[in-house]
A and B are shown apart, each in its own frame.
Chain A
């Protein structure tokens, strides 16, 4: 059922794409497609079959409008990349998903549950199923690498010291760091790339079902960028997690994303596979890709 739904909506979108209409019309089509997708998935359905992460007509403004009427959905195993120029509210979307922010309008659905109305404590609970990798890794610099990765385990599980150490070693291994070498180092002693890897290890320590990445490759050299990109793909592949990646590094996005959402002037102006994006004749998209 789930499979048919997904294909149905993808086909619908693809047929939309054959018509190289004006950007506005295209935008309306995208929204229509998302709406169908959301409707066919059904709200409150079993988590495994619905959209894992969905924004439904979300708008948000601080001093100025940041997002207006933004909708998209990501299913299990999806890697959805959110791209756009800087300052378009990409990172804000991650904060909405984490419910660090509450939208002014619309709903944010996590595994079929609307999280906009949750209390602070309920939100803490929901966040435990999500792993977030911050732009600057945001490691706690008063704690060792070991304590950083162990942090979510100590906070939310009853695991014994041995189990925690085993899990930390496993996660550091996973991100290609030698546990014996880095475990007792402080974050300040690590290189940018290593810090990011520890950030990923910490994000996935709890084995979350949803992984969020904020600019995972910014500020890294090309080789490290490639390594981190591969790592994100590995997380997705081996854990079958749903990943949302916010980035302006279009090249690495095309490597890892199953779908791409382009954010421009508070709206999602494109939502589709990387191939569809390359094939698009929309001038803004072409400019964005060429940039």
Chain B
């Protein structure tokens, strides 16, 4: 019963935070600050994650493809896996760990030191002041981070394909594009892979921001409570990302015309 109520509160929080995007007063300054916090400062881990994921993908696929004498298709494999799945999911998981925990810790300590009550008392809605800017920042920045992650991953694949398999870079990038084109287009110009790859991080951004804010704002029990909220945020956000990833993929595969 309690968990159903909590789930309801979670969605209410998300809904309110969304609705407040369009309601005065706007806390634009806070949103920009959060974009730096969530986006710019996550760049390092996203670059590293992308680079090594792309590299290991190329390495593994080269072993498999070699048995068929098909190492020239490394680009296809790396591009499809990075853009459709690994780019968004890994960026989501890394940001959930770095940013989700940060949001929960910050809002949690604001809760236990009565700063949330102080905001309320000073006539500010904490959801509008704290949750909405974080939500906006995550919704904007996660797709951006994912694109960077994808690109760096494909570059990482290029490095391995060229240095270890002797595949020319032009050949590699050609197969990358062939794969994207082979997965079809929506409205003639928008690659289906890009739709998959960009709708996911958008949803993941929302999950990370709302989960962090939800557990942060509901922190009880002093500094120990802050620690618990942080842990809960990372665990729940990561699991939610993996579960929603499955359902978004399922939905998009049935909606988009693949291989057309």
List A residues at the B interface (Cβ < 8 Å).
Answer: 95, 98, 100, 120, 124-125, 127-128, 130, 132, 134-136, 138-141, 151-152, 155-156, 202
Q: A120-B125, A138-B113 are in contact. Are A127 and B120 (CB under 8 A)?
A: yes
Residues on A with C-beta less than 8 A from B117 are 95, 100, 134, 138
* Docked complex Cα distance between A120 and B120 (Å): 10
Q: Are A130 and B115 in contact (CB under 8 A)?
A: no
Which residue of the partner chain, among A120, A127, A135, contacts B122 with CB atoms under 8 Å? Answer: A127
- Cβ contacts B89-119/A at 8 Å (1 or 0 each): 0000000000000000000001001110111
The residue in chain B whose Cβ has the minimal distance to the Cβ of A98 is B121
CB proximity of B115 to chain A, nearest CB, Å:
5
Q: Are A98 and B114 in contact (CB under 8 A)?
A: no
Q: Are B118 and A140 in contact (CB under 8 A)?
A: yes
Q: Are B120 and A151 in contact (CB under 8 A)?
A: no
Residues on B with C-beta less than 8 A from A136 are 113-114
User: Which B117-174 residues have C-beta < 8 A from chain A?
Assistant: 117-125
User: Which B202-253 residues have C-beta < 8 A from chain A?
Assistant: none
Q: Are B115 and A100 in contact (CB under 8 A)?
A: no
Q: Are A132 and B118 in contact (CB under 8 A)?
A: yes
Q: Are B122 and A141 in contact (CB under 8 A)?
A: no
Residues on A with C-beta less than 8 A from B124 are 124, 155
- Cβ contacts B22-33/A at 8 Å (1 or 0 each): 000100000000
* Docked complex Cα distance between A152 and B120 (Å): 11
Residues on A with C-beta less than 8 A from B119 are 140
The residue in chain B whose Cβ has the minimal distance to the Cβ of A134 is B114
How many contacting A-B pairs (Cβ < 8 A)? Answer: 49
Indicate the size class of the contact surface on chain B: 10 to 19
Q: Told that A134-B117, A138-B115, A140-B110 touch, could you supply 19 new A-B pairs with CB distance under 8 A?
A: A100-B117, A100-B120, A124-B123, A124-B124, A124-B125, A130-B121, A134-B114, A135-B114, A136-B114, A138-B114, A138-B117, A139-B115, A139-B118, A141-B115, A151-B122, A155-B123, A155-B124, A156-B123, A202-B122
The residue in chain A whose Cβ has the minimal distance to the Cβ of B122 is A152
* Docked complex Cα distance between A135 and B117 (Å): 11
* Docked complex Cα distance between A220 and B118 (Å): 21
Q: List 17 A-B contacts (CB under 8 A).
A: A98-B120, A98-B121, A124-B125, A127-B120, A127-B122, A127-B123, A130-B121, A132-B118, A135-B114, A136-B113, A138-B113, A138-B117, A139-B118, A141-B113, A141-B115, A155-B25, A155-B124
In the A-B complex, list the 4 residue pairs whose CB atoms are closest, starting with the nearest. A138-B114, A138-B118, A132-B121, A128-B123
CB proximity of B128 to chain A, nearest CB, Å:
10
Residues on A with C-beta less than 8 A from B125 are 120, 124
Q: Are B123 and A140 in contact (CB under 8 A)?
A: no
CB proximity of B102 to chain A, nearest CB, Å:
13
The residue in chain B whose Cβ has the minimal distance to the Cβ of A95 is B117
Residues on A with C-beta less than 8 A from B114 are 134-136, 138
The residue in chain A whose Cβ has the minimal distance to the Cβ of B109 is A141
CB proximity of A146 to chain B, nearest CB, Å:
15
CB proximity of A131 to chain B, nearest CB, Å:
8
Residues on B with C-beta less than 8 A from A130 are 121
Q: A136-B113, A138-B113 are in contact. Are A152 and B118 (CB under 8 A)?
A: no
Residue of B25, B114, B119 with highest tally of chain A CB at under 10 A: B114
CB proximity of B75 to chain A, nearest CB, Å:
46
Residue of B115, B117, B120, B122 with highest tally of chain A CB at under 10 A: B122
* Docked complex Cα distance between A100 and B117 (Å): 8
CB proximity of A31 to chain B, nearest CB, Å:
29
User: Which B8-60 residues have C-beta < 8 A from chain A?
Assistant: 25
The residue in chain A whose Cβ has the minimal distance to the Cβ of B33 is A142
Residues on B with C-beta less than 8 A from A156 are 123
The residue in chain A whose Cβ has the minimal distance to the Cβ of B116 is A138
Residue of A125, A127, A138 with highest tally of chain B CB at under 10 A: A138
Residue of B117, B119, B125 with highest tally of chain A CB at under 10 A: B117
CB proximity of B221 to chain A, nearest CB, Å:
14
Residues on A with C-beta less than 8 A from B121 are 98, 100, 127, 130, 132
* Docked complex Cα distance between A144 and B190 (Å): 47
CB proximity of A114 to chain B, nearest CB, Å:
19
CB proximity of A144 to chain B, nearest CB, Å:
15
* Docked complex Cα distance between A284 and B119 (Å): 38
* Docked complex Cα distance between A152 and B53 (Å): 48
